[in-house]
Amino acid sequence: MTRYVIITPVRDEERHLERTIESLLTQSVLPAEWVIVDDGSTDRTGAVIDRYAAQVPWIHAIHRENRGFRKAGGGVVDAFYDGYRSLRCKGWQFIVKLDGDLSFAPDYFEQCFARFRRERCLGIGGGDIYHEVDGQPRLEINPAFHVRGATKIYRRACWEAIGGLIHAAGWDTIDEVKANMLGWKTHSFPELRLIHHRVTGLADGLLRDRVKHGVACYISGYHPLFVAAKCISRLTRKPYFLGSAAIAYGFVKGYVTRAPQVQDARIIRYLRGQQLRRLCGLETIWR
């Protein structure tokens, strides 16, 4: 039986959290431990967590003080590591970072671990994220090597090799870039669907989310030519020109404010090399 643990940082997820918990309770392969971290919620999220933790022995609750604002990128990692340090199960094989606004099939984790068993060099995996639009599921499109931060499953050997997560925006790309650099594979499982009940970026507004994405690109060490190409390619996607302008603004803002970048020159060299190869149409981690 696969031994896995889950850490779920949540903030103001009263509306959606019960769906995620109920999805977990019906899994054909249950986790050894699930730590749900209330990151200073101002609604009844904490009460929902406590109610289930009192009923289910493998669910544990942690409550953090409200910092008074959303801390982009680093906030969720800070909350994650509070949960990580509290883990009682030490002999886990996989660790999962799972958002509290998802729902998924009862055999989701069973199917995920079957894929990890078949692909021994797979270090990070997870299902594809869908949003309900006009009553229909719509796929959130991402690069081939990317597993959304909402549902990341790390093989223990890979987790230890990459040294965990960085405490900054872009953490959910840097982990995959480093894993690929070290010889691991990372990708989503397109046939396994999760419904994300909160649209990505909705909490802070779409334009503000695009600015944060631009800053995250700077922090992660993206090549300026690649960011320029990204902005051009997004001109036809909502919110059209404004979205691309917001990404460019966030990227330049990183330079102007001298935001701290990833402190690993090897990762930045590897990432920029992959990005330049992609611009030239060569084989990369994108395909």
With a cut of 70, say whether residue 199 has pLDDT above it. no
| β-strand pairing of 4-10 with 94-98 | parallel
Q: What is the pLDDT of residue 225?
A: 97
Task: Report yes or no: 201 and 237 within 8 Å, Cβ to Cβ.
Answer: no
Q: What is the pLDDT of residue 63?
A: 96
Is residue 156 in some structural domain? yes
* 112/212 same-domain check: no
Is residue 55 in some structural domain? yes
Q: Return the number of other C-beta atoms located less than 10 Å from residue 211's C-beta.
A: 21
Q: Indicate the number of domains in the chain.
A: 2
* 117/257 same-domain check: no
What residues make up the domain containing 111?
A: 4-196
Query: Rounded distance, CA 157 to CA 19, Å?
Result: 31
- The dihedral region occupied by 13, where left means phi > 0, alpha psi between -120 and 50, and beta the remainder, is alpha
Is residue 79 in some structural domain? yes
Q: What is the pLDDT of residue 202?
A: 52
Query: Rounded distance, CA 114 to CA 121, Å?
Result: 13
Average pLDDT of every residue of the chain: 92
Indicate the pLDDT class of residue 69, thresholds 50, 70 and 90.
low
Q: Is this prediction's pTM over 0.85?
A: yes
* 101/136 same-domain check: yes
| β-strand pairing of 59-64 with 33-39 | parallel
Task: Report yes or no: 271 and 175 within 8 Å, Cβ to Cβ.
Answer: no
Instruction: List pLDDT tens digits, range 139-161.
Output: 988 888 999 999 999 999 999 99
